[in-house]
Amino acid sequence: MPVGKIYARRLAVLATSAALTVTGLLATAPSAQAAMPTPVSASTARTYLAALTVKAEGTTSGYSRDLFPHWITQSGACNTRETVLKRDGVGVVTDSSCAATSGSWFSEYDGATWTLASDLDIDHMVPLAEAWRSGANSWTTTQRQAFANDLTRPQLIAVTDNVNQAKGDLDPAKWLPSRTSYRCTYTRAWVQVKYYYNLSVDSAEKSALQSVLNGC
């Protein structure tokens, strides 16, 4: 075989070997933690915020979480909570009913890492009661269900349960994540959700949002 052809064959073998090595690395590399959908940029959030209706917050008269049917079936045996746990965790293993039996979850709000799904709540970025006071009181049940189970917008996220409970139904004028590096993402998500669902903001809430977004 001519020297040129032997050299070309060796190059081809080396190239194939390198490709297989890269493929192997990709196959065995740990996957990055998934997360809720990325919120709009800070500049877009500022534009959205300027477009929101500003008015005094309504009351919770007539409100009930049951008016926002949530944790509906998303796929097979998996409901919304279980879907978010699988999305937001690393190495999540589920049983036949889709319940997470193992995995690791990083809580963006406080920086804690958990290995038991029971230590996590699925937070509604814009709380259900806050939505009710901001316009959802006039929605249909179908609209409220879509809001409470929204996997397309940055509305649902797995976080430390007692941190979520401390947040309750407070808006950003009264509560922000203790992990300051996440506050920009948090406010961008909050504004995007309110804008998409045409929910109002009160003046204190708007000021708090503007303050964070101006620093993003």
pTM flag (> 0.75): yes
DSSP state of 96: T
Instruction: Name the band, by pLDDT with cuts 50, 70 and 90, for residue 25.
Output: very low
pLDDT at 116: 98
* Residues 127/189, Cβ–Cβ less than 8 Å: no
Cα separation of 21 and 16, whole Å? 9
| Residue 62 pLDDT > 70 | yes
**Per-residue pLDDT tens for 134-147?**
999 999 999 999 99
26-53 mean pLDDT: 78
pLDDT at 33: 54
| Residue 170 pLDDT > 60 | yes
* Residues 11/3, Cβ–Cβ less than 8 Å: no
Cα separation of 137 and 143, whole Å? 10
**Per-residue pLDDT tens for 76-134?**
999 999 999 999 999 999 999 999 999 999 999 999 999 999 999 999 999 999 999 99
Q: Is residue 201 classed exposed, middle or buried when 0-12, 13-18 and 19+ CB atoms within 10 A define those classes?
A: buried
